[in-house]
Amino acid sequence: MKNIAVLTSGGDSPGMNACIRAVVRTCKYNGINAFGIMRGYQGMIEGDIKELQSMDVSNIIQRGGTILKTARSKEFRTPEGREKAYQSLIKHNIDGLVLIGGDGTCRGAVEFFKTYNIPAMATPGTIDNDLAGSDYTIGFDTAINTAVEAIDKIRDTADSHDRIFIVEVMGRDAGYIALHSGLACGAENILIPERRDTMQEVIKRIADNTKRKKLMSIIVVAEGDELGGAMHVDKYLKEYFGNIDTRVSILGHIQRGGSPSCADRILASRTGYAAVMGLLQGRSQEMVGVINDQIAYTPFTEVVKLRLPMKDDMMEMIKVLSS
């Protein structure tokens, strides 16, 4: 193996640059040429590939986002698009790939490697923390700390005004950010896609708090919750209680940005290094994760089939600690 290319795909996450750095430096240490593919699978289709030297990844470990840019490619979902991507790799003599991304990245890889036989490894780059094969994903720790900092500040003003604040965090299909940040901030209600919540339960909790003269509440909602996100929850509460004093705060893309935490930098470095070493050992079509603090390898086909299970004890803990 002489030429290994790395790309970042899907939503960006803090720590992607640290992973890119680890891939490039590990390649160089082992006498392998490192290449960067710009804008994920779309850049692969267009042949937007450039060689990277060690100096190209200097001073990026602390930066959020991704120096390789990222995109979601509709064209890559077609056989024609994947054929173009393969021809671009052949043109640049790429004989190994490292993919940094989430569920969509692995799904794209599964389709690609049904037809084309280029060795590839992936690392779990997503703030959602929803990939089977790793206890945590690159960017999750930073995202929840960003959310916690924001919710703590919101709680100050909620307490000052005796208001109910409904805080929406990211998580279209997964509630890990809502669960962890809500638990860390002492939220009175946490609404996530993995759990069937009803407005009756939320209303009962608020009514019980009111009886105890607790007029301030924080409700953390994952954007993909079945009740429809923060705006819909707010609408339900106003319709039921009438003159209830509520405010909605949608944290949005602030959770994706910022300098990665120490935990994310280390996770990104470990998985980036292990991805290259895996290729050199003859591994392919596997995601590198960390389980119980040990490097673990999970086939792409398993990653896209399974989800990281939600811990039941944490769900039960919410009820107890917010009572």
pLDDT in the model for residue 240: 86
Domain membership flag for residue 322: no
pLDDT in the model for residue 322: 66
pLDDT in the model for residue 143: 97
What's the longest Cα–Cα distance across the chain?
Answer: 70
How many Cβ atoms are within 10 Å of 316's Cβ, its own excluded? Answer: 10
The rounded distance, in Å, linking the Cα atoms of 173 and 189 is 18
Domain-ending residue, one of 226, 256, 286: 256
Domain membership flag for residue 314: no
Domain membership flag for residue 298: yes
Domain membership flag for residue 313: no
Q: What is the mean pLDDT of each run of 10 residues along the chain (323 residues)?
A: 96 97 98 98 97 97 97 93 97 97 92 93 96 95 97 92 92 90 91 80 80 79 82 89 88 95 98 98 97 96 82 75 68
How many Cβ atoms are within 10 Å of 187's Cβ, its own excluded? Answer: 24
User: Same domain for 300 and 246?
Assistant: no
- Number of structural domains (the chain) is 2
Which of 26, 28, 6 has its CA nearest to residue 101? 6
User: By residue range, what is the domain housing residue 214?
Assistant: 141-256
| Sequence-distant (≥ 6) Cβ neighbours of residue 170 within 8 angstroms | 127, 128, 143, 177, 222, 223, 251, 252, 253, 255, 256
For position 98, which CATH number holds?
3.40.50.450
pLDDT in the model for residue 173: 83
Which of 122, 133, 120 has its CA nearest to residue 282? 120
User: Same domain for 147 and 216?
Assistant: yes
User: Catalytic residue numbers?
Assistant: 128
User: Same domain for 227 and 287?
Assistant: no
User: Same domain for 122 and 207?
Assistant: no
Sign for the pseudo-dihedral over CA of 256, 262, 267, 270: positive
pLDDT in the model for residue 172: 83
User: Same domain for 9 and 133?
Assistant: yes
Domain membership flag for residue 318: no
User: Same domain for 211 and 289?
Assistant: no
Burial code of 222-242, b = ≥16 C-beta within 10 A, e = fewer? bbbbebebbebbbeebeeeee
User: Same domain for 158 and 286?
Assistant: no
pLDDT in the model for residue 323: 63
Domain membership flag for residue 148: yes
User: Same domain for 179 and 135?
Assistant: no
User: Same domain for 280 and 247?
Assistant: no
User: Same domain for 145 and 228?
Assistant: yes
Secondary structure of residue 217 in the 3-state scheme: strand
Do 112 and 94 touch, CB atoms closer than 8 A? no
pLDDT in the model for residue 272: 98
User: Same domain for 211 and 128?
Assistant: no
Domain membership flag for residue 317: no
One-letter amino acid for residue 208 of the chain: D
User: Same domain for 214 and 117?
Assistant: no
For position 188, which CATH number holds?
3.40.50.460
Phi–psi pair at 154, nearest 5 degrees: -65, -40
Return the half-sphere exposure (C-beta side, CA atoms, 13 A cut-off) of residue 266: 9
Domain membership flag for residue 207: yes
Which of 108, 135, 131 has its CA nearest to residue 9? 108
Which of 94, 124, 106, 116 has its CA nearest to residue 27? 94
